[in-house]
Amino acid sequence: MSSVRAGLAIGFALLLAPSVADSAPGSPNLSSPPNGIRLSNFGTSLTWQLPREATQYQLQLTPSGNAGPGVNVIRNVEQQFQVPSPPAWYGLLPDMTYSWRIRGHDKAATAFETDTGWGVWSDTWTFRTPRVTSEGIQEVFPAMGMIGIPPPGLTLEWRHPDTGVFYFEVQASADPSFNTDPETATTAVWWNLVHGGVSAPKNSWAAPVLQPGTTYYWRVRPRVQGDGEPVDWSRIFSFTTAG
């Protein structure tokens, strides 16, 4: 009887024991770009190795301080992601640190970020985008010193020698010093941010209604944010509206 009771006890123990779920995929290994590297251009290919059991992955690519666009995608079992250059995407901002990491899932159907069963995140790696300057920025329209431009409907256009630079600050004013001190300023200074990769035409800004017979000055510089260092303005361009 004792052996029967022991067998029943073991049977009940097996029935009452919690079922063990399939283990989630292990941590992926990141491959490139190397951790901490400074990139030479604004597009890059992220590569990694997923565990064999993973069928999907989640990638998070985050700029420093969340200042600017990032990436958070879930895709099938690939081991590479091409970060596009603009204008295909707003792209990577200059002189900024980006962090990225990967995790895997073995679910057959499409997984969601909140699903259970995600594996642990990989290590977090960083890279830094190229530092840029305003050197080489050229006016496209109006030409330097152009006279007799109709004031309404004027669009300023410029060109940067690095086509990967797409995010700009632009200033325009009748004051060549661009003085914005409320105590001493003599005229308005217009300022705007421009996504040059999606503006029409590219790298352009529609100026406000300007006064006739007035000389205006304008300048441009690449926009830097996050942990990047601001850059100097371009040289000053000028034009005169029709009287």
Position 5 pLDDT exceeds 60: no
Q: How does residue 163 score in pLDDT terms, banded at 50, 70 and 90?
A: confident
Q: How does residue 23 score in pLDDT terms, banded at 50, 70 and 90?
A: low
Q: How does residue 108 score in pLDDT terms, banded at 50, 70 and 90?
A: confident
Q: How does residue 84 score in pLDDT terms, banded at 50, 70 and 90?
A: confident
| Of 105, 92, 115, 112, residue with least CA distance to 38 | 92
Q: What 3-state class would DSSP assign to 65?
A: helix
pLDDT of residue 20: 32
Position 152 pLDDT exceeds 70: yes
CATH for the 138-241 domain, from 3.40.120.10, 2.60.40.10, 2.130.10.10, 3.40.50.11540? 2.60.40.10
Q: What 3-state class would DSSP assign to 64?
A: helix
Q: What 3-state class would DSSP assign to 163?
A: coil
**Average pLDDT of the residues in 186-204:** 90
pLDDT of residue 77: 86
The pTM for the full model equals 0.76
CATH for the 23-128 domain, from 3.30.930.10, 1.20.1290.10, 2.60.40.10, 1.10.10.10? 2.60.40.10
pLDDT of residue 197: 78
Position 1 pLDDT exceeds 70: no
| List of long-range contacts for 87-90, beta carbons under 8 Å, 24+ apart | 87/166, 87/197, 87/198, 87/202, 90/166, 90/167, 90/195, 90/197, 90/198
Question: What do you get for the CA distance between the two ends of the chain, in Å?
Answer: 114
The rounded distance, in Å, linking the Cα atoms of 237 and 243 is: 19
Angle at 7 between CA 5 and CA 10, to 5 degrees: 110
Position 67 pLDDT exceeds 90: no
Q: Judge contact between 189 and 207, C-beta under 8 A.
A: no
Position 201 pLDDT exceeds 80: yes
Q: How does residue 143 score in pLDDT terms, banded at 50, 70 and 90?
A: very high
Cis bond before residue 222 (omega within 30° of 0): no
Altogether, the residues listed in the chain come to a count of 243
Task: Give the domain ranges of the chain.
Answer: 23-128, 138-241
Question: Among 3-7, 27-31, 44-48, 229-233, whose mean pLDDT is lowest?
Answer: 3-7
Q: How does residue 156 score in pLDDT terms, banded at 50, 70 and 90?
A: very high
What average pLDDT does the structure give for the chain? 87
Q: Which helix (H) or strand (E) holds 141?
A: strand 138-141
**Average pLDDT of the residues in 180-185:** 94
